[in-house]
Amino acid sequence: MTAIAPTSVWQRRTAASACLVPLASVYGALLAVRRWVWRRGWRQPWRAPVPVLVVGNVIVGGAGKTPTTATLVQHLRQRGRRPGIVARGYGAPASDARVRLVADDPDPACCGDEPVLLARATGVPVAVGRDRTAAVQRLLQRHPEVDIVVADDGLQHWRLAADAAVVVFDARDVGNGWLLPAGPLREPWPLRRAPAPTVWVLRTEPPTRPPAAHPYPEFAAQRRLAPTAVALDGTRRPLVHWRGAGQAVGALAGIARPTAFFEALRAHGVPLATTLPLADHAPAQTIRAALHAALAAGGPRQWLCTEKDAVKLRPADLPPGVTLWAVPLEVTPSPTWFKALDAWLASAHQTAPRAL
């Protein structure tokens, strides 16, 4: 089984994390140099001919960015906008620098699991590439109808100018408040740069401790498991089925915090016979191997997993007699955030003629 990084060590300032503060200081100095270069104007961001809205976070690990992106895109469509998505495509080959349209090759091994999941969940065009600027250009060339772009996990990609940014936090807030590797922060918080003229904080879970102060408008969101699980063949079953099914059920998760998924299932009353925590973006072959090993050891034949895991598998990938059920994660922001978003859309960002 693939080892999982224990991100819980970043929740408090301990002797172990303090030993890494010198490395964090080096990382912080590199970030400061980067900010200085951009402030001097030696590097300039590229501005798209349509509004760009970034969804990201400042801490390592999943805080609910992808389901937040899906919810945001669905809201934009309901408001009559024609959104498109750009993403990095984690899980795709690191050596592949090409820009891809998910519709051209909807294979998570090529495009990454989250972009394929977003394309299926939203029905909008999704472009994938390490260079978000090139991804936006390709997206707009192929889909000139797109009038707003949502950049999934794009907060640290400074080359693409953003018009608004959503910074997503879960219960961890900023952890111990230190930069990597002594803490979970990708960059200092509050932000020491302006990622966009408008910045919102969205909390998908209440913080477990008083949150770090910041100057941005803050909104709450509800993060929960969907009430229905979906098998790889499309069969649906209420999650409550496993509360008293009388049969052993296992759970696996190849996400940043597998234990969060397992705890959410248990909170719904699902008794888990066994759990398989896998590395974030675990490839299909790793999931298959873990299931085969669990079956050989006498493990259950019914398994619950995240959508990010299920999107990489087909029914034929499973061991004989094993069924895998994906339990979607839903993020529902408060109505006040949707009101702020609608006001932002109406006040300043109408579609402009483009020249690519």
308 is in an annotated binding site: no
69 is in an annotated binding site: no
Which of 314, 321, 266, 274 lies closest to 297 in space, CA to CA?
Answer: 274
Residue entry with tokens 């250009």: 137
Q: Please tell me the distance from the alpha carbon of residue 63 to that of residue 168, in angstroms, as a whole number.
A: 6
Which tokens sit at 136?
A: 């936006």
Q: Please tell me the distance from the alpha carbon of residue 278 to that of residue 1, in angstroms, as a whole number.
A: 7
339 is in an annotated binding site: no
64 is in an annotated binding site: yes
Q: Please tell me the distance from the alpha carbon of residue 62 to that of residue 171, in angstroms, as a whole number.
A: 11
Q: Please tell me the distance from the alpha carbon of residue 209 to that of residue 349, in angstroms, as a whole number.
A: 37
Helix (H) or strand (E) holding 326: strand 323-326
62 is in an annotated binding site: yes
In one-letter notation, the amino acid at residue 20 is: L
Contact (Cβ atoms closer than 8 angstroms) between residue 324 and residue 305: yes
102 is in an annotated binding site: no
Which residues contribute to the annotated binding site for ATP?
59-66
Which residues contribute to the annotated binding site?
59-66
